[in-house]
Structure 1
Amino acid sequence: MSFYIETVKRKSGTRYRIVRDITRDGRRKRTYHSLPAGTTKDTAKKICCEMNLNAEFGDFMQKKTMLFRDYVEDIYFPKYTLYLSPTTKQVYIQMYKTKDGVRDSLGHYTLTEITVEVLQDMVNRYVKMGKSPKTIRNFLYFISAVLKQAMSDNYIKRQESTACAFVRLPKPSEVEGNAYTIGQVKVMLERACQTQNRAMELLVAICCLAGGLRRSELAGLRWEDIVLDKDGAYIKVQRSIVQVNDQLIEKETKTKSGKRTIPLAVGGTVYQILERARKEHMKLQSKPGFKGGNSVFLMNHAPYSPLTPMALYKNFKRFIENDCPELPNYRLHDLRHTYFTLCSNVEGFSELSMIGTGGHSTVQSSKRYQHSQFEKMRDDMQKLDDAFAQAQ
């Protein structure tokens, strides 16, 4: 494929046109693009040169532009989100379709019209509407992903960065998570035991005293992931369950470091709770109509189906409101904050053990030391269990 200039003489004067010359399957085909009246020969040569460079390197020539909403709905979502995480895709669709979302803000613009100024106006409007800095950043991240793909598809001119890179964003808000005290954790475990709420007893024990699992990780936990031997005990976190459009989907953990092995203090609080729960699970399996499979967290009535992430959240809120009314009504995720807070308050509990058991993605290098640190993590988990046992 090549491009060259032709001179066209008309009554109104001389004009130039670019000829696209291509041969396919032995047949030659030429298409013509007339340049506007008044275009000089030097300008025509420059345009032709850029088009030849594009033919060789694919960096300059653009396809006919289209509306942002048409590109997202007809090309980006159908073609380029097939291999995204189901939850990521769902979040993208929500950000796009929600009221005052990306579609409402940018859908009527063509791709080439989405400039830094347009995006900055959108951000400023969102700030006035009271949207959080995190939400605004997520919107910009999605828009940037779309524009980068449109750039690769030659709908907009290729460059090092999209317009999103130059938008000034509000300062991230520093929202700290809440945490229960070790005494409050004791109260929750006692109430769960008294009311025979095994799911909540397991949830509080594992979240607050054994790795601070996320609710998707809790929903994905199975009994084959838990070893309770006298010479060694641990929980292996290796999957998560997420809910997308009323459908449960099994996927990998939220981060690479989310896959982890959490040592347990043999004979300790968590160990004993897990032992009791496992024995009860084995009895339930013999009941007719049992649908719990090998999941750790089950409904407390027939057919004993596995609890979804949302069901875990609702059950925890109900448990706090009904059985622990004197305690703060924190989020389920705050049990994870509680775990890290309790660990940091235990003298001698190493930061590396905290990261290794909690599955934080902020220190990726901790994965390299996980095997060699297993003994240290086990000792630290014993310290946490001892501190819990001694608490008043």
Structure 2
Amino acid sequence: MSVKTVNGGYVIDFTLNHERFRETIPAPHNKTAAKRIEEQEAIYKMAISLNDKAIASRFPNSKIMQKAFDNGCNYTIHDYSNIWFKQKQLNWSHTTIRGYTQKYNSYIKPNWGNLILNEFKASMFDEWASECLLSGKSINETRNVLSQIFKRAYFDGVIESNPVERIERYKQEAHEPKPFNSEEITLILGELPAPHKQFFQFALYTGLRTGELLGLRWEDIELNKQAAHIRVNITSGKEKAPKTKGSIRTIELHDLAYDALQTLKKTKFFDSHRVFIDPRTMKEYKYADGLRKYIWKPTLEKLKIPYRYPYQCRHTYASMMLSAGKNPMWVAKQMGHADWGMIRKIYGRWLN
């Protein structure tokens, strides 16, 4: 067993059970680096002698570990999901972490988590997909998580190919928007008390996403210019920047959206920070589910209006603007889309 100095780094070299293991590690030539490499060598030897994958997983890029552990393929899908998640999670938003975790724990882990990476076959996924009752969208999202786990293992040289690439994407059904008509809007806004009336009036006449509505601050509003700057988003109780560059935007306020703000400023529900606050607690909203369950849904039931999620307020705004002859590019900018492709795809029947 030895550690040798070479140009640009060190070579770990040892023999265990009549097999030689050798690896070059780039590092500066100093005492600190030399000590670290010696300690790494000792850990390698221990992992191999004990056949301990938990130790080996700390060095997924190590050629020695790949060679020692069944030619680099002694990991289960669950083993490598932990490696992938640990390496990548710092680049993900809170909602991405939540979505990936849900798909993995609900579908991937119980079905294939215990399989060795190279035991998984594309047909296993297709068989599962044919029997499950999930939508095409959910199946594709599960496929995406599984593919990323295998892609990480492939890039680390642990497996020779990514089997998920052999799985075709499943057809996703497009659901056409179901906007509210003018009569329904009048009934809804007539039934809602302040400040819920102003919240949904603003939603219907700006098309903002739910998280954008919750995150809106008075400092983002320029009433004299009848404009709002969309800069923050509330998702799962946390404030963060909007997901895409196109979502960071300045919108023109419709007259009825402007009126909602002017009215709100004159009520006892005015807060100097957030535009919309919970009237029960007089604090900012962290989640919108309470609004949907206890305000929106009972109102539609009382008015006998067919139920649609509050997100249809966004679709209502887009359809109203397009029906009024607004330029699709202007509508796309108002909605936070990078171009008008999504407008054409989703709201095609409202285009002149």
TM-score bracket for the superposition, by shorter chain length? 0.7 to 0.9
Report the Cα distance in structure 1 between the residues aligned to 2:262 and 2:94, rounded to whole angstroms. 34
Structure 1 stretches lacking a partner, 5+ long: 3-16, 32-53, 56-60, 286-291, 367-392
Q: Aligned-pair distance for 1:295?
A: 1.2
Partner residue of 2:75? 66
Q: 1:120 to 1:278 in 2, by over 3 A?
A: same
Deviations 1:308-339 (A, max 9, x none): 222333232233234xx232221111111111
Quick one: which amino acid aligns to residue 135 of structure 2? S
Q: 1:173 to 1:78 in 2, by over 3 A?
A: same
Report the Cα distance in structure 1 between the residues aligned to 2:246 and 2:310, rounded to whole angstroms. 21
Partner residue of 1:311? 290
Partner residue of 1:264? 253
1:102 aligns with 2:108: yes
Deviations 1:73-93 (A, max 9, x none): 3x2333321331101101111
Match of 1:63, SS? coil
Structure 2 stretches lacking a partner, 5+ long: 1-9, 12-17, 26-33, 45-62, 65-69, 344-352
Partner residue of 2:59? none
Q: Aligned-pair distance for 1:203?
A: 2.7
1:198 aligns with 2:206: no
Deviations 1:238-269 (A, max 9, x none): 111111xxxx211122332111111124xx22
Match of 1:236, SS? strand
TM-score (norm 1): 0.67
Which of 242, 247, 250 is the matching residue for 1:253?
A: 242
1:83 aligns with 2:72: no
Asked whether the 8 Å contact 1:182–1:342 carries over to 2, the reply is no
Q: Aligned-pair distance for 1:175?
A: 1.6
Q: Aligned-pair distance for 1:22?
A: 4.9
Partner residue of 1:172? 172
Q: Aligned-pair distance for 1:364?
A: 8.5
Taking only aligned residues, the RMSD between alpha carbons, in angstroms, comes to 3.4
Highest CA radius of gyration, 1 or 2?
1
Partner residue of 1:369? none
Match of 2:228, SS? strand
Partner residue of 1:377? none
Mapping for residues 44-63 of structure 1, pairs under 5 Å: 63=72
Aligned residues: 296
Partner residue of 1:343? 321
Q: Aligned-pair distance for 1:20?
A: 4.0
Quick one: which amino acid aligns to residue 241 of structure 1? I
Q: 1:293 to 1:270 in 2, by over 3 A?
A: closer
Quick one: which amino acid aligns to residue 77 of structure 2? F
Q: 1:178 to 1:77 in 2, by over 3 A?
A: same
Q: 1:214 to 1:133 in 2, by over 3 A?
A: same
Partner residue of 1:321? 301
Which of 111, 114, 129 is the matching residue for 2:132?
A: 129
Q: 1:87 to 1:23 in 2, by over 3 A?
A: closer
Partner residue of 1:239? 232
Partner residue of 1:217? 212
Q: 1:18 to 1:181 in 2, by over 3 A?
A: same
Report the Cα distance in structure 2 between the residues aligned to 1:81 and 1:365, rounded to whole angstroms. 29
Following TM superposition, the consecutive aligned residue runs of length 4 or more in structure 1 with deviations greater than 3 angstroms are 17-29, 361-366
Deviations 1:137-175 (A, max 9, x none): 000011111111122233222x5xx32222134321122
Match of 1:81, SS? helix
| Matched-pair identity in % | 23
Quick one: which amino acid aligns to residue 69 of structure 1? H
TM-score (norm 2): 0.74
Q: Aligned-pair distance for 1:284?
A: 5.0
Q: 1:312 to 1:215 in 2, by over 3 A?
A: farther
Q: Aligned-pair distance for 1:363?
A: 4.5
Match of 1:353, SS? helix
Deviations 1:184-220 (A, max 9, x none): 212222222xxx3322x2232222212x111111111
Report the Cα distance in structure 1 between the residues aligned to 2:208 and 2:272, rounded to whole angstroms. 21
Deviations 1:26-60 (A, max 9, x none): 9999x9xxxxxxxxxxxxxxxxxxxxxx89xxxxx
Asked whether the 8 Å contact 1:258–1:359 carries over to 2, the reply is yes
Match of 2:223, SS? strand
